[in-house]
Amino acid sequence: MSDSSSQPLAGYRVLDLTTFLSGPFCTQILADLGAEVVKLEAPEGDSSRHIPPHFVDDDSAYFLGVNRSKKSIAVNLKSPEGLELAKALIAQCDVVVENYRPGVAGRIGLDVEALRREHPRLIWASISGFGQEGPLRDRPAYDMIVQAMSGVMSLTGEIGRPAVRLGIPAGDIVAGMYAAIAINAALANRERGGQGQHIDVSMLDCQLAMLSYQSAYALVAGVTPQRQAARHDSIPTYRSFMAADGRELVITANTERMWQGLCVALERPELREDPRFAGADNRLANKEVLWEALEQAFLARPAQEWIEPLAANGVPVALIKTVPEALEDARESGRGMVVPLEREDGRKIEVVGNPIKFMGETQPAGAYPPGLGESARDVLGAWLGMDDGQVEALLERKVLVSRDPAARN
């Protein structure tokens, strides 16, 4: 376990009742910032432990990617004793995070408002598809559902082709990020003398917020934004191009100076002198003709050979990397964005690291994601004062399940 004593959220306790991605991503952010995060799992574990096709022993790569630096306790909440144990843990923590469908927490015996009345400083964060209130609150939602309903999918893909899902699970990830932001705000408010909060984060709301200028165009101008492909609605020199070797690169020549630099780098001075391309408005009005000229120019060289002349002329440029290529670049960057994790038996994996850096501070790599229920003795001893005999009795009565780290191969 990495030492988190000097990190911003050191000393805060978080009970993580979440599964799959939006909630675990949120609580991993909190763990990266130093909070003690305990996953309270069902006896069979977080469902994401079992997602194929890639596994390390009993746990999926999916699970391992978003659960570092946490502890795990597996509790049978269907038993009265297990439910009371969960309530006792809630009484000892600062934050509870759950991503049940609205109303489910109450049905399993965790009445949020009653618990908050009993513990007024408790911060309870609920992540759901459509929020705790509203006509859609009872509907199930996953990443692609909210990408579709928010309009995000309508923007994604090639013009004239069917809509496609973003290649990353933005519906889940963005909700997790907003929940982490809200939790930190609620903790700050509490430290200034306020009470706890019940935070309501909707995956759909978060996707709508991420529409950014596309929503402004629709609301202000009354337009319906179309598929973006690898282009920009307002800046025709902000897009991808194919080079001579079949590899793609992107340029983002947003300013007049960058446009001038683009013409120099491409050795096409006539484009700079063409009145059809004089100024951003003209370039946008004549984008199809401009794109044809630029496409032909980029086909003159392999993609890598364009990087240096474009960068030298002030044009932001990048190759479109594969995921392994991007990870290798990150590994070599020295910014700690690919980090090794090692568990007690010597098993090692690499995961993507914490992007939040505090200047002058050492960034802990984090701890290997926990085995199912393996932290029961640690957590129940530290939080509730239970000794090994009491924990063993709970294990024997099947109130708890624990995967013994020593039994791993």
Q: Which residues are catalytic?
A: 172
Q: Which of 371, 409, 377 is nearest to 395 (CA)?
A: 377
Question: Helix H segments across 222-322?
Answer: 256-265, 269-273, 280-285, 287-298, 303-312
Provide the pairing of β-strand 59-60 with 13-16: unpaired
82: helix, coil or strand? Answer: helix
Taking a C-beta distance cutoff of 8 angstroms, is the pair 115, 90 a contact? yes
Whole-number Å distance between alpha carbons of 111 and 28: 25
- How far, in Å, are 93, 184, 216 from residue 362 at the CA level? 27, 21, 40
Place of tokens 């408790």: 122
Question: What is the phi-psi region of residue 340: left when phi exceeds 0, alpha when psi lies from -120 to 50, beta otherwise?
Answer: beta
Whole-number Å distance between alpha carbons of 255 and 259: 6
The residues that bridge with 70 in the sheet, in sequence order, are 37
Burial class (CB in 10 A: 0-12, 13-18, 19+), 278: middle
